[in-house]
């Protein structure tokens, strides 16, 4: 890939990230034990974590692509090694993960509840509606779900095998992730969700 194409991809990515992060979040329906302002606080707190993590991931990914090409960068779409994620999570007493209904890494498989949210967002996108985040609450924790939408940067690793992903990248992905389900995407589709698990802060 040449340098100008890379710059375009990077620019496109950042523009769409800004658009995604400018969307007004709204509370999900199944919020139970917190009051409305509490819910909004957690929704925003979780959103800040998701946005920061996504930014750092995109930065690592684009730097790696520029440095060594797509094949080399494949190992950088992993959030485990992100220092910011770790420190932010600690600071805010939160746990961050990324899951999908079509995971590349089997450890990122969505559970039943996450799957229900993913389905609701997919049908919202299909109808041209906004992909709103959602929080659910129990006695001692609040869980926030935040959509992860594809843009052109993603396609070289998550796009169409014939047109977007090189043979070399496909081989590398296949060797690292033999049960990969994360291809065939186009732009503006739901690739997965951030799941931010926040411990409730006691008010006493």
Rounded distance, CA 31 to CA 27, Å? 8
Place of tokens 């940067």: 153
Q: Please report whether residue 53 would count as binding ligand HEC according to CB under 6 A.
A: no
Q: Which of 28, 143, 192, 198 binds ligand HEC (CB under 6 A)?
A: 192
Q: Which of 121, 154, 190, 196 binds ligand HEC (CB under 6 A)?
A: 154
Minimum CB separation of residue 109 from ligand HEC in Å reads 8
- From the list 80, 119, 125, the residue with the least C-alpha distance to 98 is 80
Minimum CB separation of residue 192 from ligand HEC in Å reads 3
Minimum CB separation of residue 164 from ligand HEC in Å reads 10
Q: Please report whether residue 189 would count as binding ligand HEC according to CB under 6 A.
A: no
Q: Please report whether residue 196 would count as binding ligand HEC according to CB under 6 A.
A: no
Minimum CB separation of residue 119 from ligand HEC in Å reads 16
Minimum CB separation of residue 58 from ligand HEC in Å reads 6
Burial group, residue 88, by CB count within 10 angstroms (0-12, 13-18, 19+): middle
Rounded distance, CA 65 to CA 97, Å? 23
Q: Which of 104, 117, 121, 164 binds ligand HEC (CB under 6 A)?
A: 104
For residue 130, give both structure tokens. Answer: 């906004």
Rg (CA), the chain: 17
Q: How many residues would you count in the chain?
A: 204
For residue 187, give both structure tokens. Answer: 């732009």
Q: Which of 156, 159, 164, 196 binds ligand HEC (CB under 6 A)?
A: 156
Give the angle 79-73-17 at the CA atoms, nearest 5°: 60
- Would you tell me which residues interact with ligand HEC (CB under 6 A)? 13, 58, 61, 70, 73-74, 77-78, 98, 100, 103-105, 108, 148, 150-151, 153-154, 156-158, 182, 191-192
């Amino acid at each position: 890939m040449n340098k100008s194409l890379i710059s375009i991809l990077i620019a496109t990515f950042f523009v769409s990230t800004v658009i995604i992060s400018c969307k007004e979040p709204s509370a999900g329906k199944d919020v139970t034990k917190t009051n409305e302002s509490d819910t909004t606080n957690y929704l925003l707190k979780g959103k800040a974590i998701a946005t920061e993590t996504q930014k750092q991931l995109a930065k690592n990914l684009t730097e790696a692509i520029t440095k060594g090409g797509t094949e080399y960068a494949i190992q950088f779409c992993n959030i485990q090694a992100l220092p910011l994620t770790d420190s932010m999570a600690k600071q805010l007493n939160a746990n961050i993960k990324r899951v999908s209904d079509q995971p590349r890494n089997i450890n990122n498989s969505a559970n039943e509840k996450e799957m229900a949210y993913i389905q609701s967002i997919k049908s919202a996108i299909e109808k041209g509606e906004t992909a709103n985040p959602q929080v659910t609450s129990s006695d001692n924790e609040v869980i926030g779900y935040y959509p992860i939408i594809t843009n052109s940067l993603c396609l070289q690793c998550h796009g169409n095998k014939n047109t977007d992903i090189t043979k070399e990248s496909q081989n590398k992905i296949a060797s690292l992730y033999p049960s990969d389900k994360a291809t065939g995407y186009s732009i503006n589709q739901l690739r997965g969700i951030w799941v931010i698990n926040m411990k409730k802060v006691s008010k006493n």
